[in-house]
Amino acid sequence: MTTALRSNQTTALSMPGDALQVSARMSVFLAEELLPLMAGLWPASANQLDGNARGVALAWGSLLRGFNAQQIREAVLQLGEDADRQFAPRPAEVRGVILRNNPVPRSAPVGRQVSLRVCEMEAEVRVYLRNRSVPVEEVTAELRKVLAEKARQGVGLTGNQYEEDGRDTKHLGV
């Protein structure tokens, strides 16, 4: 069964009072295509994916916001080619594959700007690809490197606060 939804609709998958929302199209993609695909590729994860579908949809929808269904599907299928993998990937792994497959241009046109959150995501992915369990300090150090690279490339930075905890970027030297 396919559900037709307007692109401007959103579905609140979280409890009342939570601000986290996932678009209706993303909800349909997750429920009708991605979760069954992952359960088929990684049967050992089928119970967890099915038993916690709401939590999985929230995690995937929030961490992969901004990527389209085709990018997500291709990344999951690419991870599914690993015959030794027993369990479904985490959203951060999929985000890493998407970013690796769609690299950010290394030279910026005049006036190009990126948000601090984009730089944070890039730092998280770089660190995660090296080691799956890392301390926050290592991510912060990688963020400093990313910010320095962006400055060398002439990329402007928008935003001045971490979204997670409200700290400003002065402690990073930017």
Which range, of 64-68, 119-123, 168-172, averages the lowest pLDDT?
Answer: 168-172
Q: Which two tokens stand for residue 30?
A: 């997750």
Mean pLDDT of the chain: 75
Classify residue 166 as left (phi > 0), alpha (psi -120 to 50) or beta: left
pLDDT digits (tens, 9 = 90+) for 125-149: 888 888 877 788 888 898 999 888 8
Per-residue pLDDT tens over the stretch 78-120? 998 888 888 888 888 888 888 888 766 555 555 678 888 888 8
CA-CA distances (angstroms) from residue 165 to 18, 129, 172? 16, 24, 15
What's the longest Cα–Cα distance across the chain? 53
Please tell me which residue, 1 or 46, carries the higher pLDDT value. 46
Q: What is the per-residue pLDDT for 139?
A: 87
| CA-CA-CA-CA torsion sign (86, 87, 89, 90) | negative
Residue 138 tokens read as 């290592």
CA distance 93 to 128: 8
Instruction: State the pLDDT confidence band at 2, using cuts at 50, 70 and 90.
Output: very low
What is the SS3 assignment for 146? helix
16 has pLDDT over 50 = no
pLDDT attached to residue 65: 81
The confidence score (pLDDT) of residue 20 equals 52
The model's confidence at residue 165, banded by pLDDT at 50, 70 and 90, is: very low
- Tell me what the mean pLDDT of segment 165-171 comes to: 47
Q: Model confidence at 18, in pLDDT bands (50, 70, 90)?
A: very low
Q: What is the mean pLDDT of residues 33-51?
A: 84
